[in-house]
Structure 1
Amino acid sequence: MARERSGRTVAHLVLATRLKTLREAAGMSRSEAANALGAHQATVRRIEQAETSLDEGQVHTLLTAYGAGPAEIEAFLGQLAVANLPGWWHPWRSVMDPWQLDLMSVESAARYIRVWEPALVPALLRTPSYARAVDDVRRPDLSPGDRDRRTELLIERQKRLRHQNTTIWAIMSAAALHTFVGDKDVMAEQRQALRAAVERPDVTLQVHPLNGPCHPMTGMPTVTLYRVDVEDIPDHVVREGNPRGTADVFNSLHAVSAYHVLMDHTCVIAPHPDESKEVLT
């Protein structure tokens, strides 16, 4: 399992990868780069793998050692300054689940998100009322005010994903349509929102019927796959279902590939998206 570090943003990963590329282009080993930095080569390895924060002074020294000119160094440090700014989600960090703190930068750069939801409407397709009703049941440990703020965060996530044209492909069990969340008005509003969502070009929804065949995701908790179209940034998988908002996060090729295969097979077994539209009427 690979757990993302707070502050290890996609922007940092991109810059760290560029530092490695520049070092290799300069024909320098990590040991030589470490000598220029006056540090152990393990420090250079951690910098290049974004396992530590990118310090402006260290980055400047490395870029100079790699033969970068003043203009390139200035541009790189400018990008680093932007990467070090708090993410848009910063105001909500006190009510975020641990995995959200770690993965929000990945979600904010994702071009493709796939979701399996076994019993409820997928979070990224929930209405504010439905989302709040879910938290009322699942997160009694939080104050009503904190639950309101979590709903605000979810709605902001949805808006930003639409703005960045992220494709969402969700598979959910028809159980979600029969599980009463909130009152009848909340459920009616949620159904209407789903009908509207599936008409959007950025959303694909498959609803697995209650009397449908067993499929590879049967019995699994909520699973979300993130794909970022940035070279050297791996796909990520979030498997929820642990107490109080905790989750397992994976980014190893083996784990991610395994979940991709499971999701692919489940999509083949589930009804076509057009059939799912009919279920929502």
Structure 2
Amino acid sequence: MPRPRSGPGVLHAVLATRLKWRREGAGVSAAQAAAELGSHAATVRRIEGAETSLDAGQVGTLLRFYGAGEAETAEFLAQLAEANAPQWWHPWRDVMDEWQQQTMAVETAASLIRVWDPALVPELLRTPAYAEALDRVRLPGSPEPARWRRAEFLAQRQARIAARKARIWALVPEAALRTRVGSPAVMAEQIEALRTAAGPPRGLRTIQVSPLAGPAHPLTGACALTLYRVDVEEIPDHVVRDSPVGPPGIWDDTLTVTAYRMLLDQACAAAPGPETPLPTTL
């Protein structure tokens, strides 16, 4: 399986791809572009592959070399300045892992987010109280303010996804609804939040529950997954697979993403449809 990808954010990747297209459209080789910069062809390949940050001076030099006019260059550099500006999640960096910043860049651009968790309510459907209670179990030594800031950050993510009308499609095991996280009141609030999300009007939230008495499916026992569909031509879909140790894996190559999408498709096909109500006896 290909190694997880890391690197700059989504807008950087968009601009890097467009810069490559501009070079190819101008009939300029990577070696010629590198000579104009006074560097090596490998430098141009890293720039075009979004494997390094984009420098405004280098980008301006390349665009002019490719024959871009003043208006096109100014627009491109303005977009680059936007890409280099602090992102909305920066105030929460003190409670974020390093890998999450890359995930947030993709999440912010996604139009469809598919999620699976083998034993818990998927992260993007958790209430703040449920998230904070789970944090107590997973990070028992974490200070209380940090726990609530992580819950606040999750709430911000959920609100921004809803505001831009991105769709969440979740496959939830019935076991997650029966595993008590926090107090009975916390669980009652979480279950009610899921019922509300699964109820009418449908469209932005699709929730399927895999029953305890149901047959095994392709994701039974698998680690939590998130698949991001990005409706930007230059950006591939991404899949994030949780890891019990170390940072999650993040992939954007077609073969890996397609393989995980097929697993999700098969698991969802084996589960009752989203029109089936959540279990009433929990």
Where on the TM-score scale, by shorter chain, does this alignment land: which range?
over 0.9
TM-score normalised by the chain length of structure 1:
0.95
Q: What's 1:60 paired with? A: 60
Q: What's 2:239 paired with? A: 237
Q: Number of residues paired by the alignment?
A: 277
* Distance (Å, rounded) in 1 between the aligned partners of 2:280 and 2:18: 47
The ranges of structure 1 where at least 4 consecutive aligned residues each deviate by more than 3 angstroms after the TM superposition are: none
Q: Residue by residue, what CA displacement relative to the aligned partner does 1:122-169 show, whole Å, maximum 9, x if unpaired?
A: 111111111111111012242211111100100000000001111100
Secondary structure of the corresponding residue to residue 233 of structure 2: coil
Q: What's 1:158 paired with? A: 158
Q: Of the candidates 219, 224, 242, which is equivalent to residue 221 of structure 2?
A: 219
**Runs of 5+ in structure 2 lacking a partner?**
none
Check conservation: 1:4, 1:103, Cα contact below 8 A.
no
Q: CA RMSD in A?
A: 1.3
User: Shift in Å at residue 184 of structure 1?
Assistant: 1.1
Check conservation: 1:195, 1:280, Cα contact below 8 A.
no
Identity over aligned pairs, percent:
55
Q: What's 1:43 paired with? A: 43
Secondary structure of the corresponding residue to residue 110 of structure 2: coil
User: Shift in Å at residue 280 of structure 1?
Assistant: 5.3
Check conservation: 2:209, 2:278, Cα contact below 8 A.
no
1:204 equivalent to 2:231? Answer no
* Distance (Å, rounded) in 2 between the aligned partners of 1:232 and 1:109: 12
* Distance (Å, rounded) in 2 between the aligned partners of 1:167 and 1:190: 19
Q: What's 1:168 paired with? A: 168
TM-score normalised by the chain length of structure 2:
0.95
* Distance (Å, rounded) in 1 between the aligned partners of 2:196 and 2:131: 17
* Distance (Å, rounded) in 2 between the aligned partners of 1:93 and 1:137: 22
User: Shift in Å at residue 242 of structure 1?
Assistant: 1.8
**Runs of 5+ in structure 1 lacking a partner?**
none
Superposition pairs of residues 240-255 of structure 1, within 5 angstroms: 240-243=242-245, 246-255=247-256
Check conservation: 2:31, 2:41, Cα contact below 8 A.
yes
Check conservation: 1:191, 1:280, Cα contact below 8 A.
no
What is the letter of the counterpart of residue 85 of structure 2? L
Secondary structure of the corresponding residue to residue 222 of structure 2: coil
What is the letter of the counterpart of residue 228 of structure 1? V
User: Shift in Å at residue 62 of structure 1?
Assistant: 0.1
Check conservation: 1:194, 1:280, Cα contact below 8 A.
no
* Distance (Å, rounded) in 2 between the aligned partners of 1:280 and 1:111: 31
